[in-house]
């Protein structure tokens, strides 16, 4: 089986969201691991004969793949989103057109912090960057270890409030790992 074929099968079952480029990189390995985990194979991220055979069986069975059956129906998924007053999951979506928007889920703690910021200032908050896939992160010049890649960071602005004021409040909240002003109105904050 060629790498492209492997990527196609993983994509068909919802595990691989990258481009079918024939390059066996991190995304391919991660997708393979998550397939192996769901179907009780040994999780090594290498797509060998056992994995190949299992994936053919799963596709031939016509059953809904574990990965897709786990996808939230209404787009919001986890229960804690119901407790979030001011944000929807969509606002944290990776804006590129390739990754499907959520290569990872936004971390609960960062969304809860965002809710607190919004409540504190009582003014609209615009999220300019939440979750990022590797490609989009590269495009916007994000560092390789950016917490945006793990759903643990957000960049935002509070309408009518100076970035320095927002930053001071963010830094006063517990639970923020790191925050800085991107410019005079946008602030980055992230969590552990
Ligand atoms: Zn993306
Ligand atoms: Zn950021």
168 C-alpha to center of ligand 1: Å? 30
Which CATH number characterizes residue 169's domain?
3.30.1380.10
Verify that 105 and 128 share a domain, yes or no: yes
Question: Ligand 1 (ion): which residues have CB within 5 A?
Answer: 94, 96, 99, 133, 136
154 C-alpha to center of ligand 2: Å? 5
- Of residues 18 and 122, the one with the higher pLDDT is 122
Verify that 132 and 54 share a domain, yes or no: no
State the pTM of this model.
0.62
Percent of the chain at pLDDT > 70 equals: 95
Q: For residue 55, give its domain range.
A: 3-70
Kindly identify the ligand whose nearest atom is closest to the C-alpha of 179.
2
What integer pLDDT is reported at residue 67 of this predicted model?
Answer: 77
Helices (H), the chain: 3-12, 26-38, 49-61, 66-70, 108-121, 134-139, 163-172
Verify that 104 and 179 share a domain, yes or no: yes
pLDDT(188) > 70: yes
Verify that 38 and 118 share a domain, yes or no: no
Residue 61's Cβ-side half-sphere holds a number of Cα atoms within 13 Å equal to 11
- Please state, in angstroms and rounded to a whole number, the distance separating the CA atoms of residues 35 and 31: 6
Confidence bin at 70 (pLDDT 50/70/90): low
Verify that 30 and 12 share a domain, yes or no: yes
107: closest CA among 163, 71, 148, 64?
148
99 C-alpha to center of ligand 1: Å? 4
Kindly identify the ligand whose nearest atom is closest to the C-alpha of 181.
2
Verify that 112 and 184 share a domain, yes or no: yes
Instruction: Please measure the distance between the N-terminal and C-terminal CA atoms of the chain and give it in whole angstroms.
Output: 40
């Amino acid at each position: 089986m060629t790498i492209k074929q492997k990527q196609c099968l993983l994509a068909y079952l919802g595990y691989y969201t990258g481009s079918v480029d024939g390059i066996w990189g991190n995304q391919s390995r991660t997708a393979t691991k998550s397939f192996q985990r769901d179907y009780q194979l040994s999780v090594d991220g290498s797509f060998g004969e056992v994995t190949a055979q299992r994936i053919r069986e799963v596709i031939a069975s016509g059953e809904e793949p574990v990965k897709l059956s786990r996808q939230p129906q209404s787009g919001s998924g986890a229960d804690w989103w119901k407790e979030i007053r001011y944000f929807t999951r969509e606002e944290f979506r990776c804006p590129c057109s390739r990754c499907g928007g959520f290569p990872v889920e936004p971390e609960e703690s960062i969304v809860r912090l965002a809710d607190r910021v919004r409540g504190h200032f009582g003014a609209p908050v615009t999220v300019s960057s939440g979750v990022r896939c590797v490609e989009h992160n590269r495009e916007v010049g994000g560092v390789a270890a950016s917490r945006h890649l793990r759903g643990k960071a957000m960049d935002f602005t509070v309408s009518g409030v100076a970035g320095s004021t927002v930053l001071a409040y963010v830094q006063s909240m517990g639970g923020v790992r790191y925050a800085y002003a991107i410019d005079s109105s946008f602030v980055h904050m992230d969590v552990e």
